[in-house]
């Protein structure tokens, strides 16, 4: 039995680490929160029973490694996770007769802020709890963060960066490609906070809510609530909290439970922290948890129902997503009958079959999910043909996740999504062509390939007679298409819908081949893979696309209809070829860092987000600052130059 327990523990450790890596490092989900918590609790129980804790167990390890793109910095004190419970009575007993603060446990990205002499000096993400990523420049554009505060001493605090549900929905509504939409506010926030260009961050409406004061030379009379009041006086939005005791804690939990139904800020539970700071500090900590706080996670409202069918939904990329349809049930005050199952791996993990009895819940009381399959028949047949075109499907595995794809390049689902991407704002930018309009044009046989968009005048009479169209609508569409004919190569390459190619990668490819489409089309997979930021997977996608004979013919047809602005780059102008630069701080000669970055790239140089031994120089108008980038440059012997010095030395302006 002991051997079986150890084997199961090792299996659980591996499973939980893979899930954590996907969630924290890649912003992906390979299992639901419900399933993660269940496996974590099973591991904790086995460790308690056996008295053995494996060195790499997630019960003693905190978080995951920070990504490479941003500078890293070690926290002065480790940022620990919190012990958790779903029992209200256990929360009341934990108080031990004392007062505590009960507050939201927000679902975003934890940030540590440092202020010196009343000004924001540094912002660092939680990272793995020991080392985080420096995102100071991005924090400066958080919607509600004070850049200067009244307090003039050193102030260090922690809080949560979040994106509200309403902002999340607004951002997603502007993305036409269903597959490109963000899955949830936390993933969107995580990516927004860690952008290399803070203009992107600024457009995402990131907000910051303080939840803990780490350091300030102020007498708070041993009361944590006074710390919160002090932070509010400094201009911070403090996470909503209530002072509770054993007599009123259950009523206050009910208050938060009712409020979360309409609360616009993502939250996945509550946090309880002792009001008496000295008492809390005297309790110390475990290897993973502080003992002065505990997290309360909502006991998911589970409902048992019957799985009626799995709906398979095809997309532009060929990915076919499974959606569970079940007998309607009431959950958290609403009727639900559908839940995404995400991919084949989760379908198989749940051992689904039509007619199975399943339990469903709302993740964070918002998103319907399947919690458990009580029957476990494992009889669900994975479609061998696409639900849209009827052609063969294929199961592919990427990063340990199996998903279903349609193999037919001419699938109507792919066509609709492909045309939608092609006319989108970042591609050819054609006004007046919605997905529903494209669907009508495709159904009538007006469109077979992208070039056909610019030949719609053949069908002018039919289009003006269509419902919702008329002479004016047709004229507007014709004008939009005429304007769209004049485009740039990066827009065109992005609009082609090559798998794994986004706006940034399209631009990178065009710049590498000096905006010469012929060179890009003929590049070998090996040559593509050697480009910084591309790699094997993207190289394979790009090479396969251009190597396909049909794609080549259709691209030639398209090129006969559009005018690509020629970006002339003389070899003699590639004065920065082979050089790498880092830009930080504000600029005087350029509107923003992105504009200077483009200038450097035109000259053949490269701009990165962090200083390394390969950096040619760091461009910073404050050459004497003690910023992390300046310190790193000095450590590595990298030259630090002002914008003026850079222009004179490297651009000769």
Could you give the residue numbers annotated as active site?
105
Residue found under tokens 């400066």: 140
| Residue 224 host element (H or E) | helix 224-233
How far apart, in whole angstroms, are the C-alpha atoms of residue 633 and residue 615? Answer: 9
Cα 122-128-131 angle, rounded to 5 deg: 40
Pairing of strands 486-487, 563-564: parallel
Contact 212, 155 (CB under 8 A): no
Contact 463, 471 (CB under 8 A): no
- Closest CA relative to residue 650, chosen from 594, 591, 577, 585: 577
205, 310, 334 from 325: Cα distances, Å: 34, 6, 16
How far apart, in whole angstroms, are the C-alpha atoms of residue 613 and residue 639? Answer: 11
35, 169, 207, 460 from 457: Cα distances, Å: 55, 36, 48, 5
Residue found under tokens 């989108």: 424
How far apart, in whole angstroms, are the C-alpha atoms of residue 190 and residue 184? Answer: 10
Helices (H), 51-184: 88-94, 136-139, 165-173
How far apart, in whole angstroms, are the C-alpha atoms of residue 33 and residue 370? Answer: 11
Residue found under tokens 């110390």: 284
Helices (H), 374-529: 412-422, 435-443, 460-465, 471-484, 489-495, 503-512, 517-522, 525-529
CA dihedral 114, 115, 120, 121 (to 10 degrees): -60
Contact 268, 107 (CB under 8 A): yes
């Amino acid at each position: 039995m002991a051997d079986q327990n150890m084997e199961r523990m090792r299996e659980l450790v591996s499973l939980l680490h893979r899930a954590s890596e996907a969630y924290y490092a890649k912003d992906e989900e390979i299992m639901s929160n419900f399933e993660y918590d269940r496996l974590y609790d099973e591991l904790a129980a086995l460790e308690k029973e056996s008295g053995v804790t494996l060195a790499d167990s997630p019960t003693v390890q905190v978080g995951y490694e920070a990504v490479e793109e941003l500078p890293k910095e070690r926290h002065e004190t480790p940022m620990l996770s919190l012990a958790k419970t779903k029992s209200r009575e256990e929360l009341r007993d934990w108080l031990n007769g004392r007062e505590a603060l009960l507050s939201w446990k927000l679902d975003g990205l934890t940030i540590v802020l440092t202020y010196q002499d009343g000004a924001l000096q540094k912002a660092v993400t939680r990272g793995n709890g020991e080392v985080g990523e420096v995102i100071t420049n991005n924090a400066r554009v958080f919607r509600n963060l004070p850049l200067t505060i009244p307090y003039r001493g050193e102030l260090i605090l922690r809080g949560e960066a979040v994106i509200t549900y309403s902002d999340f929905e607004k951002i997603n509504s502007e993305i036409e490609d269903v597959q490109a939409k963000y899955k949830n506010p936390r993933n969107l926030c995580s990516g927004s906070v860690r952008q290399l260009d803070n203009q992107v961050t600024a457009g995402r409406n990131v907000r910051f809510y303080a939840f803990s004061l780490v350091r300030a030379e102020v007498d708070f009379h041993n009361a944590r609530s006074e710390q919160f009041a002090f932070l509010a006086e400094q201009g911070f939005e403090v996470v909503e909290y209530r002072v509770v005791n054993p007599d009123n804690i259950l009523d206050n939990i009910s208050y938060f439970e009712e409020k979360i139904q309409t609360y616009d800020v993502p939250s996945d539970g509550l946090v309880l922290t002792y009001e008496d700071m000295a008492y809390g500090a005297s309790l110390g900590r475990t290897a993973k948890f502080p003992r002065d706080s505990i997290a309360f996670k909502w006991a998911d409202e589970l409902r048992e129902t019957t799985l009626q069918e799995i709906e398979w939904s095809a997309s532009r990329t060929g990915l076919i997503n499974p959606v569970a349809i079940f007998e309607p049930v009431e959950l958290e005050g609403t009727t639900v009958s559908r839940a995404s199952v995400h991919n084949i791996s989760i379908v198989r993990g749940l051992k689904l079959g039509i007619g199975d009895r399943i339990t469903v819940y709302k993740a964070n009381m918002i998103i319907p999910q399947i919690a458990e399959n009580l029957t476990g028949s494992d009889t669900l047949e994975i479609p061998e043909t696409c639900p849209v075109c009827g052609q063969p499907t294929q199961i592919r595995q990427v990063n340990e996740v199996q998903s279903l794809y349609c193999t037919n390049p001419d699938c109507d689902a792919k066509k609709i999504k492909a045309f939608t991407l092609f006319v989108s704002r970042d591609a050819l930018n054609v006004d007046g062509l919605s997905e529903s309009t494209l669907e009508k044009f495709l159904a009538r046989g007006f469109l077979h390939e992208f070039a056909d968009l610019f030949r719609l005048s053949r069908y002018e009479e039919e289009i003006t007679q269509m419902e919702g169209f008329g002479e004016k609508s047709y004229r507007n569409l014709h004008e939009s298409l005429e304007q769209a004919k004049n485009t740039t190569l990066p827009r065109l390459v992005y609009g082609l819908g090559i798998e794994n190619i986004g706006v940034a990668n399209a631009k990178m490819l065009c710049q590498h081949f000096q905006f010469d489409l012929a060179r890009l089309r003929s590049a070998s997979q090996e040559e593509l893979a050697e480009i910084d930021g591309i790699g094997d997977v993207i190289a394979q996608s790009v090479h396969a696309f251009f190597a396909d004979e049909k794609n080549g013919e259709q691209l030639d047809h398209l090129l006969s209809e559009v005018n690509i602005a020629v970006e002339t780059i003389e070899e003699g102008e590639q004065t920065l070829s082979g050089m790498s630069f880092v830009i930080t701080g504000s600029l005087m000669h350029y509107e923003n860092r992105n504009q200077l970055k483009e200038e450097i790239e035109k000259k053949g140089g490269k701009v990165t987000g962090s200083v390394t031994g390969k950096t040619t120089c760091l461009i910073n108008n404050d050459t004497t600052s003690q910023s992390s980038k300046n310190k790193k440059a000095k450590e590595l012997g990298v030259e630090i130059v002002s914008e003026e010095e850079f222009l004179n030395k490297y651009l000769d302006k």
